[in-house]
Amino acid sequence: MRAEYDVDISIVVPVYNEAENIEAVLDEIVEVMDKFGRSYEVIVVDDGSKDNSFEVLKRYHEREPRVRVVRLTRNFGQHPAVYAGFTYARGKWVTTIDADGQNPPEEIPKLVKTLEEGGYDFVQGWRTQRKDSKFRMFFSRAVNWIIQKITGVHIQDIGCGMAVFNRTAIQRLLQATHHYRYIPAEIAWMGLKIASCPITQRERRKGRSRYRVWSLFWVNFDIIASISTFPVEIMGVVGILFAVLGFAVGMGALLWQVFRGGSNASIVLMSFLSLLVGVQILCLSILCAYLSRTYREVQHRPYFIVEEVVTDGRDN
């Protein structure tokens, strides 16, 4: 059996192709945590990296056994990687931090203190001066707003990789078995006691973000769809709007023909017909998105698969 609360703080770091960054980030974490004076462990989850991140991490473990490495069989994604880390975490508190250097480790003590002093279950980092593109910030704002509307819970910055959890939050998260899990959205849905804490954000050390426009779109859709059927419901509203619009245009074209003569009505009707078809296809694709997610769930596949654990031998 894994002994819980072996340490005060477990730091979970998801890694995907970060060979150039990870060593420096771990050095910083170790330095900050040694100064903080609480016992800690670091669990780095190699999410199927294709570069030599795993070799770098194995070497790091030999030098610093408090850094353990969990390697997944393939690239499962950032959130499954973080979840994998949670299953190995022995700390009273667990904090997550990105491996690319964007989250400064000096913020860990601040987050932990906010959680401890405020008696929260979860404290989310809030990047007050983001170093990301305007396009990404727009997506983030929209998703933060929607999640707030759905859950009634205000989390400032859903997409921030830096957060701290107490045992209650971790245990509740680990009870979940569904595939589309996005941690802050789950937490908001669970009704835990949460807060946001302003943190600084730096530029990525090297390499580029894994999230391209298309994947960003789907990740954000998934975050919403994972806890809500809001997109399906909004389809009904869109349908009603277009039905009303279609009726109005039809009536307008008819009246135009009766009172003004001529026949531009067919062109107007055609354009609205194609608009309607477009909306129908959109609605159908949202339904299919839910259906495909349901299909994934009934397959009951694991959320992630661990290939190897590089450890001090105290795991179960």
Q: Interface residues for ligand UDP in 141-200 (CB under 6 A)? A: 161
Q: What angle do CA 294, 96, 26 make, to 5 degrees?
A: 135
In terms of CB distance, is 66 or 136 closer to Mg ion?
136
Looking at 18, 47, 100, 186, which residue binds Mg ion (CB under 5 A)?
100
In terms of CB distance, is 80 or 159 closer to Mg ion?
159
Longest dimension (CA), the chain: 87
Asked if 107 touches ligand UDP (CB under 6 A), the answer is: no
Smallest gap, in angstroms, from Cβ of residue 29 to ligand UDP? Answer: 12
Half-sphere CA count of 117, side-chain side, radius 13 A: 7
Measured CA to CA, the distance from residue 240 to residue 244 in angstroms comes to 6
In terms of CB distance, is 47 or 157 closer to ligand UDP?
47
Out of Mg ion, ligand UDP, none, what residue 75 binds, judged by CB under 5 to 8 A for its kind, is: ligand UDP
Identify the residue whose tokens are 């192709």.
Answer: 17
CA 68 to mean position of chain CA atoms: 23
Query: Which 3 state secondary structure label does DSSP give 252?
Result: helix
In terms of CB distance, is 100 or 107 closer to ligand UDP?
100
Identify the residue whose tokens are 């989390």.
Answer: 155
- What is the chain's length? 316
Count of residues interacting with Mg ion (CB under 5 A): 2
DSSP state of 179: S
Query: Which 3 state secondary structure label does DSSP give 161?
Result: coil
Asked if 102 touches Mg ion (CB under 5 A), the answer is: yes
Q: Interface residues for ligand UDP in 15-44 (CB under 6 A)? A: 15-16, 18
Q: What is the phi-psi region of residue 119: left when phi exceeds 0, alpha when psi lies from -120 to 50, beta otherwise?
A: left
Burial class (CB within 10 angstroms; exposed 0-12, middle 13-18, buried 19+) of 42: buried
Strand partners, 2: none
Burial class (CB within 10 angstroms; exposed 0-12, middle 13-18, buried 19+) of 298: exposed
Asked if 303 touches ligand UDP (CB under 6 A), the answer is: no
C-beta neighbour count of 218 within 10 angstroms? 12
User: Are 68 and 43 spatial neighbours (Cβ–Cβ below 8 Å)?
Assistant: yes
Stretch that binds ligand UDP, among 54-62, 71-79, 245-253, 255-263 (CB under 6 A): 71-79
Asked if 90 touches ligand UDP (CB under 6 A), the answer is: no
Out of ligand UDP, Mg ion, none, what residue 186 binds, judged by CB under 5 to 8 A for its kind, is: none
Smallest gap, in angstroms, from Cβ of residue 208 to ligand UDP? Answer: 8
Stretch that binds Mg ion, among 96-104, 169-177, 195-203, 231-239 (CB under 5 A): 96-104
Asked if 75 touches ligand UDP (CB under 6 A), the answer is: yes
Main-chain dihedrals φ then ψ at residue 72, nearest 5 degrees: -90, 160
Smallest gap, in angstroms, from Cβ of residue 80 to ligand UDP? Answer: 8
In terms of CB distance, is 76 or 120 closer to Mg ion?
76
Out of Mg ion, ligand UDP, none, what residue 200 binds, judged by CB under 5 to 8 A for its kind, is: none
Asked if 102 touches ligand UDP (CB under 6 A), the answer is: yes
Asked if 215 touches ligand UDP (CB under 6 A), the answer is: no
In terms of CB distance, is 130 or 167 closer to Mg ion?
130
Asked if 105 touches ligand UDP (CB under 6 A), the answer is: no
Residue 98 tokens read as 């990105």
Q: Which positions touch Mg ion (CB under 5 A)?
A: 100, 102
Site residues for ligand UDP per CB under 6 A: 14-16, 18, 47, 75, 77-78, 81, 98-100, 102, 161, 209-211
